[in-house]
Every structure is written in C-alpha cells, then in structure tokens.
Structure 1
Amino acid sequence: MTQNPRTQALTDAGVSIWLDDLSRQRLSSGNLQELVDTKNVVGVTTNPSIFQAAISGAEDYDEDIAALAKDGKDVDAVVEKLTTDDVRSAADLFEGVHTASHGIDGRVSIEVDPRLAHDTEETVAQAKRLHEVVGRDNLFVKIPATKAGLPAITAVIAEGISVNVTLIFSVDRYVEVIDAYLSGLEKAAASGKDLSSIHSVASFFVSRVDAEIDKRLEALGGEAETLRGSAGVANAQVAFGTYLESFGSERFEALQAQGANTQRALWASTGVKNPDYPDTLYVDRLVAEPTVNTMPEKTLDAVADHSEPAATLNAEIATSAQAVLERVAEAGVDLDDVFALLEREGVEKFEKAWEELLETVSASIDDVSA
C-alpha cells in the first residue's frame, strides 16, 4: 500500500508517528494494520483512559471475562489479562517494524497501575511483572514522572527493561527524567547489561499545558490574553533544546560508546483542546529529529489531510521559545504551580479511569457469577 504523502513527510523529517489508542476491535478489524500501511504508524501508546474506553461496553471482551471469572480470577487479574493480551497482540503486529528499525520503533506501551504513582517499590515490581507477562522485546513499560517515579525509572532501566516515561509537563522535571535514565544506564553498564538493547522515550505533554495556562491568561485579561495558545508549543520546544544539550554531553557520550541509545522526546497530548486552534498545531510546530509524536486517530487523520509542518526544531528555536515562557510568567502566570497542578491532575485522571475500568469489569464478573 502507498503511504500518505503528509505522514511520509513527517517520517522523512525524523518524526516517528505512533497511535495513541488501542482496542481489540482495532486489532481484529485490521484497522491498526491499515494505519501502519497507509499513514506511517510505527508504534502505539496506551494509558488507563484508553483501556477504560476500549473495554467498557465492548462485546469483544465478554467471552474472556466470562472464562476468567469462571476460573475464579479476581477483577485485577482479569483486567491485567485483558490489557496485556491486547498489548501483546499489538506488539506482534509491530514485530516487523521493530526489527527493521533496529529496535527504535515498532513499540507498544503499557502503563503501570496509576494507583502506584507515588510508590517507588511497587512501581518497580509491577514494571517487572508487566515486562514478564507481555513477554515481548518491543514493549515499553510506562512509568509516570512523579517524584516517586524517578527512582523507579532508574531501577527499571538498570534491569534492562525499556521505559516510556509519562506525564512530563515541565522542563525542570524533564531534566530529572533524563538524569534518571542516564543513571539507570550507568547501573546497567556496571552490571554488564547490553546497553544497545535498552530504549526509552520521555513523554512530554503539550495540549494540557495550553488548556491550563490559557485559562489563567484569560483570567488576567488585557495583553496577557494575546499569549494564549503559545505556551504548550514553547514549553515542548524548550524541552527539545534540553534533549539536544543532554544527549550531546560527555556523560552520555561515555554511555553511547558502550552502545547506549538516546531517550527520544515523545510529544503526547497532541489533540487540540481548543477548537479555535489548528487541529495539527501540536504536530506541525514540533517537527524534530529524532522525536515521536503519538496522536489520537482524529489528529492523525487531520495530519494526513492538511498538515503543514513548520521549521525543524533546533537549539535556536528552543532559545526563542524560552523567551515566550518568560513572557507568560511576566504576565502573571505561575508556571511552577501550573506544572505541579497538571501532574496531580494527570495522575488523578488515570486513577479515576482505572477505577472505572475495574468497576465495569467487576460488574461483568458479577453477572457471570450470578
């Protein structure tokens, strides 16, 4: 099949396109394979909200839920089975991409239980379990970039397990994420692990930043309102400057000499929240090599239809973007408060979605057992 010229152009510019969605229906219908064949999709990300939407009310899972319930499995075991089965199937679908890209792409992500976001030891334990249960080399285990998540990232990377670090909102926290990754690589090297087999991405959220900052700019009124829609892109652009600096450092060069891979920046939350903004905003303004952009299908379709990428990101653009953030702060927005709030809300939203999924599956188990 022929790839869409606009998604191909992004690929040629060094952007790996991943789909921010997964369901059994996507797998069984051939929809996911079609996106691979026609829109340059080379990976998948999932999260608790995606699984909650996929499983709740979908008949595709009824037979498995009934069988597992009859075997006496509790709700947590059933949910783990359903989600890891889908992720494993998707990983198998991407096996060829994974091989052809030498392990860079063809990746499928699954997140640790969001209720563990503030528990380092339990996060590490579940990351190891998910890695073992899925049993595929192209798996990414997602760990949130909370304070408790940072040492967990180091520990899991040290074990040789590839990690997708999620819920990154601030550049300051991103710096800590990179340090956690490099520390994990250093520990892995010290224990004789093959660094070339360890991969990672750092998922930097974009549209949620604009949504919160725009709200505060509107409340300030006047000249502050002219800055609406500028902070999300600028924040990500500054982050890419940090990527360039960190992975051009002597510290990383020493690891790279041992086979280490960079931790690519991944742009997440790329569906626009404000309908007044271009629906490809968080794709067109964040073109850089090497990066990942994980898109909901609505955004992917928009990109395939009318994407017009801006200049490729570089250190100069990152410097200009820093000035944008400074103007936002000078207008009266407390950026540290914004980023702390977004992290808390991000964890809470995923916890709520997970709880809703557990309740839905639990009700289905009760129906079978009645």
Structure 2
Amino acid sequence: MTDRLGALAAAGVSIWLDDLSRERLNSGNLQSLITDKHVVGVTTNPTIFANALANGAAYDAQVRELASRGASVEDAVREITVADVQQGCDVFSGTWEATGGIDGRVSLEVDPRLAHDTEKTVAEALDLWKAVDRPNLLVKIPATKEGLPAITQALAEGVSVNVTLIFSVERYRDVMNAYLEGLERAAANGHNLSGIASVASFFVSRVDTEIDKRLEAIGGSALELRGKAAIANSVLAYAAYQEIFSGERWKKLEAQGAKVQRPLWASTGVKNPAYPDTLYVSELVVAGTVNTMPEKTLDAFADHGEVRGDTVTGRADEAQRVFDAVADAGVDLTDVFLTLEKEGVEKFDKSWAELLETVQGQLDGAKS
C-alpha cells in the first residue's frame, strides 16, 4: 500500500491534526496517528473543544471534581482545556525534541470574546502560556486589527504564537511584520530567539465557499471561476512569505537564531462535495509549510491523495490572474475578506458560548 501521507511529509509538509479530545488522548489514538500517519502536531479551537466536551464521557471525573469544589464555569473550562493541551504536548514531546522544536506543537486559543481587545488578549496569552507550562505550546491569537499588536506583545514576552483567522494576503503581510517586530522586541528583552516559534494560519476552504457563493449570484462566465480562488489566494500568500523571509530585516533576526514563521494551511477540509476531498492538500504542497487537517481529510489523503511535487512555488502570476478575473467578474474581494474575518470570530464566539453552556450543564449535573 502506498504511504501517501509519508510522501507528503517527505515533500516537506508538516502534517498536523485539526482535532484534540481526552478520548483521543486516553485511547492512544493520538499516539497511533503519530506512529502510523506521520502526524507531527495538533491544533485546537473552541469548536473542537465544544464537540469533545459534548460527546465525551472521558471528562466526567474531572467535571465531578470541579463541581465538588465549586469551580466557576470559566475556571472549569480553563482547567479542562489546559489539561488536554498539557497531555497533548507531552505526547508530542518526542517529536518536538526530534525536530529541534519545529514540530511537535499543540495550539490553544485565547478566549475568542477578546478578539477585539488587545490588552486582554495579551494578558490571556501570558496566562495560558504559564498555565500549560510546556515549551511546545503555541498560543492562538486571531489576526484581527486588535490582535496584531497582541501578537507582537506576546512574542516580545517569549510566548510562541499560532496566528489564526488569516484570510487575505494583505492581512498576512501585517501578521508577518507583527512577528518580526515581536522577535526584535523579544531580543531587546533578552529572550533567546531560538526558543520562540510561530505559525501563521492562512484559511483556505472558507475563501472558496464565500467567493463561489458570490460567483453563483453573478452567473454566466463567472461560474467558470468557482473553486479556484482559495488555492490562488494561498499561492499569493506563499509568494508574500518568500518575499518577507528573504529580506534584510529577517536575515538580521535569523542571524540571532530566530525561526521563520511557517505558513500553515488551515480550514483544509473541503466544504463543496463537487470538489476533490483532498484538493486543499494536494494543491498546496510546498516544503516548510504545515497543513492542519480534520481527520476525515487526513484519512482521505491517506487513501487516495497525490503528491506531485511542489504545487505552489512559482505560480504567483497565474494566481494573480485568477484573482484579477474574480474581481473583474464583479466580486468585491475586500468585502469578502472582511466578511470572512467577521464570521470567523463569530463562529468561535458561538462555539465558546456552547462550550460554556455544555460545561455548566455538566457541573450542574455533577452536583445533583
């Protein structure tokens, strides 16, 4: 049987799982994914934890203990999620050591209700960093306008960061600049730059979902552009990454031991059943990147995914033509990206509310 995920890893793509649960940890499933499917990291978000808590009996004992000492729902959510992430970090500690701190990473998100509050986001990022107390943690901070200075401040304090909810190349450039500034300030603060890591989570499938919807409303020849914008957007993002991380500002930091902020392809589960279910993996193969996949996408690629070499480098001109055509067809791209960021924050807000509601219900049940 062809080891398709092995070929993907050999092409330089770090395979991360977009999921974590206590059941997955306790059953040994996560370890088996590391051993058998080349998984070298994990990302979480409020939706993932909401689903895990709603469907997992593995949390019952901890919930009973939290209820017995009268923990608030906010404190309970913090303790539960931190415990899962600590255990995940421990499972990946061997990977972290073997890759020199590049992989073996587990991400934990700041409270999404703070997405537009810089100072509270920084405070929460520092609290999570201390609470988890693992060197292979990444604290997730959204790339909102208020999130950008929070990213810089967290990095300046030596916190490793996964920047999330990046949709446009313009905002991605802001994120990379926030990273460089954070490293410069970290060096000034006396931190060892080699110990600070970061990835930039550039969202893929949601771009096609939103732009396809608008192309369908326009109709006619615009329909021929469906399913092309997300890959083109990602290719342009990678070109921006190459530009920034070959510049003089970066080279000075690299000389001090800094690591590049790797592009991470997020939201790679295919939403439209008309598209190949491995589309956002096979078309985004390039060394030095991360692809974080839901297990369904991971399994699909293991079964029939194709690695055709580097499918990203050198395609920027072609990608720009796609974007120009989408704009010429009448799609307001600025509005697309504003809409996606707003919806992204709102979705995580909603999931956080569901998480709080689920845990409150479990706390109440444990008391009765």
- Does the alignment reach a TM-score above 0.5? yes
Paired residues of 1:18 and 1:43 also in contact (CA < 8 A)? yes
What is the CA-CA distance between 1:4 and the residue it aligns to?
6.4
Matches within 5 A, 1:74-93: 74-93=72-91
Q: How many Å separate the matches in 2 of 1:57 and 1:23?
A: 10
What is the CA-CA distance between 1:308 and the residue it aligns to?
1.1
Residues 1:234 and 2:232 aligned together: yes
Partner of 1:269: 267
Residues 16/359 of structure 1: CA separation in 2 closer, same or farther (3 Å cut): same
Per-residue Cα deviation, 1:138-185 (whole angstroms, up to 9, x for no partner): 000000000010000000000111000000000000000000000000
Partner of 2:346: 348
Partner of 1:176: 174
What is the CA-CA distance between 1:88 and the residue it aligns to?
0.5
Tell me which amino acid in the other structure corresponds to 1:269.
S
Partner of 1:14: 12
Q: How many Å separate the matches in 1 of 2:56 and 2:30?
A: 17
Q: How many Å separate the matches in 2 of 1:87 and 1:208?
A: 26
Residues 338/344 of structure 1: CA separation in 2 closer, same or farther (3 Å cut): same
Match of 1:167 among 143, 146, 165: 165
Per-residue Cα deviation, 1:52-110 (whole angstroms, up to 9, x for no partner): 00001421111111111111110000011111100000100000000000000000000
Per-residue Cα deviation, 1:236-269 (whole angstroms, up to 9, x for no partner): 0110001100000011001101111100000000
Paired residues of 1:287 and 1:311 also in contact (CA < 8 A)? yes
- Alpha-carbon RMSD across the aligned residues, in angstroms, is 1.1
Paired residues of 2:283 and 2:312 also in contact (CA < 8 A)? no
1:316 is paired with a residue whose SS is coil
Match of 2:281 among 280, 283, 286: 283
Q: How many Å separate the matches in 2 of 1:253 and 1:201?
A: 18
Match of 1:324 among 307, 322, 333: 322
Residues 4/77 of structure 1: CA separation in 2 closer, same or farther (3 Å cut): farther
Match of 2:100 among 93, 102, 108: 102
Partner of 1:304: 302
Paired residues of 2:166 and 2:201 also in contact (CA < 8 A)? yes
Paired residues of 1:142 and 1:166 also in contact (CA < 8 A)? yes
Tell me which amino acid in the other structure corresponds to 1:244.
Q
Q: How many Å separate the matches in 2 of 1:296 and 1:56?
A: 18
Per-residue Cα deviation, 1:321-341 (whole angstroms, up to 9, x for no partner): 111111111111111100000
Q: How many Å separate the matches in 2 of 1:7 and 1:184?
A: 34
Partner of 1:365: 363
Match of 2:40 among 39, 42, 47: 42
Partner of 2:205: 207
Partner of 2:155: 157
Per-residue Cα deviation, 1:202-228 (whole angstroms, up to 9, x for no partner): 000000000000000001000000000
2:315 is paired with a residue whose SS is helix
Per-residue Cα deviation, 1:328-356 (whole angstroms, up to 9, x for no partner): 11111111100000000000000000101
Q: How many Å separate the matches in 2 of 1:82 and 1:29?
A: 17
Paired residues of 1:4 and 1:39 also in contact (CA < 8 A)? no
Match of 2:141 among 140, 143, 165: 143
Residues 1:124 and 2:114 aligned together: no
Q: How many Å separate the matches in 1 of 2:154 and 2:19?
A: 24
What is the CA-CA distance between 1:295 and the residue it aligns to?
0.2
Per-residue Cα deviation, 1:184-206 (whole angstroms, up to 9, x for no partner): 00101112210111110000000
What is the CA-CA distance between 1:313 and the residue it aligns to?
4.3
Paired residues of 2:286 and 2:313 also in contact (CA < 8 A)? no
Per-residue Cα deviation, 1:23-67 (whole angstroms, up to 9, x for no partner): 011011111111101110000000000000000142111111111
Partner of 1:25: 23
Normalised to the residue count of structure 2, the TM-score between the two structures is 0.98
Q: Name the stretch that deviates more: 54-63 or 152-161.
A: 54-63
Paired residues of 1:4 and 1:38 also in contact (CA < 8 A)? no
Partner of 1:71: 69
Partner of 1:190: 188
Q: How many Å separate the matches in 2 of 1:100 and 1:226?
A: 46
Residues 274/314 of structure 1: CA separation in 2 closer, same or farther (3 Å cut): closer
Q: How many Å separate the matches in 2 of 1:354 and 1:221?
A: 37
- Show structure 1 runs of 5+ residues with no match: none
Paired residues of 1:4 and 1:40 also in contact (CA < 8 A)? no
Give identity over the alignment, percent.
61
Partner of 2:249: 251
Match of 2:258 among 249, 257, 260: 260
Q: Name the stretch that deviates more: 172-181 or 322-331.
A: 322-331
Q: Name the stretch that deviates more: 42-51 or 302-311.
A: 302-311
Misfit runs of 4+, over 3 Å? none
Normalised to the residue count of structure 1, the TM-score between the two structures is 0.98
1:56 is paired with a residue whose SS is helix
Paired residues of 1:207 and 1:269 also in contact (CA < 8 A)? yes
Per-residue Cα deviation, 1:88-137 (whole angstroms, up to 9, x for no partner): 00100000000000000000000000000000000000101111111100
Residues 121/115 of structure 1: CA separation in 2 closer, same or farther (3 Å cut): same
Q: Name the stretch that deviates more: 322-331 or 203-212.
A: 322-331
What is the CA-CA distance between 1:292 and the residue it aligns to?
0.1
